[in-house]
Amino acid sequence: MTTPAPGFTLGPNSYGKSGVRLVRVDRDTPRHAIRDLTVHTALSGDFDATHYTGDNTGVLPTDTQKNTVYAFARDGIGTVEAFAERLARHFVDTTPSITHARVRIEEHPWTRVGDHSFSSGEGGELRTAEVNYGGGAAAVTAGVRDLLLLNTTDSEFGGFLVDEYTTLPETEDRILATAVTAAWDYATVPADPDKTFHAGRTALLDAFAGTYSLSLQQTLYAVGERILKTVPEAGEVRLSLPNRHHYLQDLGRFGLDNPGVVFQAGDLPYGLIEGTVRREAQ
């Protein structure tokens, strides 16, 4: 059977290799450099035959995709956006059955402590990049994931809707903490993606630190607006801000007051604030 049975059809589909762990060491000088990436590929195209009959003639194995990542790294990484685009263009431009490639990359940071020594904490912030390519211009997205931010003051939450199930008290001074995931799409790819990324990240930090927050939604918009003002190449910013709750502890049973200094860091459940800030069409 080369076509689906009557009444059935194949919908959108893709396949690829997820979680390709890549470390590249630059040894050109005694002062080494290290890049630590996780790469994900997803390919789409003319794959009806493999779904309907198991005919794999047009299928580029996911193991081959993994090997391509390592082979391309031999000549260097460059910016994560450029590396993702190199891979995406290769898969589409060299394989007739592939019409679209999506390559996502997360970069794991290392801090230099010597000419060939580095340190890194487990988890924490990742730099992200995604490239979608189907021939012609590539669509490029940059961003961060799990960027932990916290303000110890300058945050309130009150005036909200109250019903019979509301127990949350209003507060005029609270800890505001979150783990930001942000992604901004480039309307035009910047000449220097590294410089532009760091400008966007700095704008994010400045907006979070400099906004007197009456809600996490307000902070989200302020962050997105600041990134767009700072990065003219960006057309929109998508943000996800989980509320990392910090609960003021009642120390009265121990005969102690608590003037806003002792908190319990909450885990689950948590509030999740998400939104998109767009540049208006001119």
Report the alpha-carbon distance of residue 228 to residue 234 in Å, rounded: 6
Structure tokens, 220: 């989200």
Cβ atoms of 11 and 96 within 8 Å: the answer is: no
pLDDT for residue 85: 97
**Within this chain, do residues 16 and 130 fall inside the same structural domain, yes or no?**
yes
**Residue 281: per-residue pLDDT:** 77
Same structural domain for residues 123 and 180?
no
Q: Are residues 130 and 157 in the same domain?
A: no
Predicted TM-score of the model (pTM): 0.92
Q: Choose the catalytic residue: 38, 50, 62, 230.
A: 62
Q: Is residue 2 part of a domain?
A: no
**pLDDT score of 121:** 74
Separation between Cα atoms, residue 70 and residue 41, nearest integer Å: 13
pLDDT tens for the chain, residues 1 to 282:
467 778 899 999 999 999 999 999 999 999 999 999 999 999 999 999 999 999 999 999 999 999 999 999 999 999 999 999 999 999 999 999 999 999 999 999 999 999 999 998 766 899 999 999 999 999 999 999 999 999 999 999 999 999 999 999 999 999 999 999 999 999 888 999 999 999 999 999 999 999 999 999 999 999 999 999 999 999 999 999 999 999 999 999 999 999 999 999 998 899 999 999 999 877
Point out the domain boundary residue: 78, 111, 137. 137
Length of the chain: 282
Same domain as 155, residue 253: yes
Instruction: Identify whether 5 is part of a domain.
Output: no
Domain that holds residue 122: 12-137
- Determine whether 17 is an active site residue: yes
Let me know whether 125 and 173 are in one domain: no
Determine contact, residues 213/151, Cβ cutoff 8 Å.
Answer: yes
DSSP state of 136: S
Determine the pLDDT at residue 277: 98
Please identify, among 121, 137, 153, the residue that sits at the C-terminal boundary of a domain: 137
- Answer whether residue 6 is part of any domain: no
Q: Last residue of some domain: 113, 137, 161?
A: 137
Domain count, the chain: 2
> Does 155 share its domain with 242?
yes
Residues 61 and 119: their CA atoms lie apart, in Å, by 35
- Active-site residue (options: 17, 40, 66, 90): 17
H or E stretch at 198: helix 193-210
What are the backbone angles phi and psi of residue 34, rounded to the nearest 5°? -130, 140
Is residue 1 in some structural domain? Answer: no
Residues 84, 156 within the same domain? no
